[in-house]
Every structure is written in C-alpha cells, then in structure tokens.
Structure 1
C-alpha cells in the first residue's frame, strides 16, 4: 500500500513493467471511468492520481509519466488507473505501449525491494501538499 484516503487507494503493481508502477483505485466499486463518477468524484480521483504520480516522479526521476485506465467487463471490471514512470534513456521504440506490455517482460523484484520502494513512495507522498 502506498497511499489511502477516505475514497481511494494506491498500491504497487504486482507485475510492474516499469520501476515503481502503481495502481490507483476508488474504494467504492466503480466500473466506468466517465459515466459512473460525477464530476466531483472524478476530480477527486484525478487529484489523488496526480499526487501519486508526483511522488513517483520524485522517487524515480522519470522522463515521462504514463497515466492510463484499462479494464474489461469480462475480466477486470473495477476502475483503476495505472501510474507508470518511464526511466530516462529508454529508446523510443521501447517507450509508450511497448514499455507497458507484460509480454515484453515484468520486473521480478524480491519482496524486500518492493517494500523499500513502497516506503520511498510513502515518504515522497508525505511531502506533497
């Protein structure tokens, strides 16, 4: 777990394709990113996503930050955002979708390394206003 407030949670991705990749989700079951949230709930979620992304950028000094929401009614119907930071120096042909696809490999970090990443992200979040 990286962050939590009354409405949202953020946690490390179990199968990250980029260092420090985080998932952010509303605590309430929501399936559709646009039509299931009123404007206020959507803006609160996006502000939470932004806070997490800023912390991730601070910890990993990313070249670019990817924010995206995927899912499927057949397999993963709960709304969630992916927050993935692209490290500097990745060749263009390995950026964007390529960098996000598990088919191109995932980071198999040991649990203690993932726990250390979580601590660093929580510390960075504590510095956010």
Structure 2
C-alpha cells in the first residue's frame, strides 16, 4: 500500500518551473535547494528520485548536459545510450516496488522544465483502475507523503539493484 497523498502547492511549483533556474542543471551543479536522492550517475546521465512523487520509487532520468528536445537534440548514439539508462533504471525500480506496469514518459516545455528528462513510475499491483494511468501521475491528485528515512531507503534500494544488475557500469558504458 503506497503512503498517503498530500496536497501539492501547484502555484509555487509552476512559478519555480517557469521563473527559476533549470532544475536539472541546478541539481547537477550541486545547488542544495535543488537536491535530490541520486540513484545512478555516469559522465553523461543522472537518475534521481522525484521530489514530488506520485508513485513509490518514482525516478527522473536526464542527460547532465542541458538538452531540451528528445528527438532533434540527441544524435542516435546519445539517444540510444539515454534510453538504455532509462531501461536499466526502470527495471531496478520495478524490482524495488513490485510494479505491475511501468510508466515511462518525457514531459517539459519551453515555458518550464525545459531540460529533457524521463519519468519512471512503477504502478503498484492492485491499484484500482480509476487510480491508474494519468490519475496516478498527476500531482493535482496529491503527492506521496514520505518520511526522509523512507526516501533515503528507497534510493539506496534502487541504487543497489542497479549495481546488482551490472549493466550500466560495464566497460565502455560510462
């Protein structure tokens, strides 16, 4: 059973997304006000727990370099490598949360959250149909109320599972 949901301050979130610095670039540069729990990192990519998760273990994966367009800003090799990172992180998330289905999606806009990033969200088993799909992903329906210890433990489980799978740290893989 996922933790209870709590309301999210959508006005503050929107203002930060539209007027603040790029949240991925700020996180990668080490700004404490944009800190997240990292679950994977190599020279080119970073994966971290969503600060406002709508499902347990929700992770974002992004290139470290500021890229805004998923199709035209990546050459085929870079796109393929990013998608391999997304896949491996998603498999680790599935293992950790026992997802019956995994949602992968890339959002953002030139008006806010422009830095390319993929969302990985594992749907818990037995989630009622009306609470699945978009309903489970929308912050308008609230975000999970998780204690800091729970968040740290989830990040550690996902990191450990990625390491155990061993596919992202293979020679020539970053």
> Same fold judged by TM-score > 0.5?
yes
Aligned residue pairs: how many?
Answer: 129
Larger CA Rg, structure 1 vs 2: 2
Q: Which of 121, 132, 137 is equivalent to 1:100? A: 137
Q: Does residue 59 of structure 1 match 2:71?
A: no
TM-score (norm 2): 0.73
Greater than 3 Å deviation, 4+ residue runs: none
Q: Does residue 72 of structure 1 match 2:115?
A: no
Cα displacement (A) at 1:6: 1.2
Q: Does residue 27 of structure 1 match 2:64?
A: yes
**CA–CA separation in structure 2 for the residues paired with 1:77 and 1:37:** 15
Cα displacement (A) at 1:69: 0.1
TM-score (norm 1): 0.98
Please name the residue that 2:25 is paired with.
none
Cα deviation per residue 1:56-106 (whole Å; 9 max; x = unaligned)? 011111000000000010111100000000000011111111100011111
Cα displacement (A) at 1:112: 1.2
**CA–CA separation in structure 2 for the residues paired with 1:42 and 1:36:** 9
Please, which runs of 5 or more residues in structure 1 have no aligned partner?
A: none
Q: Does residue 125 of structure 1 match 2:155?
A: no
Please name the residue that 1:50 is paired with.
87
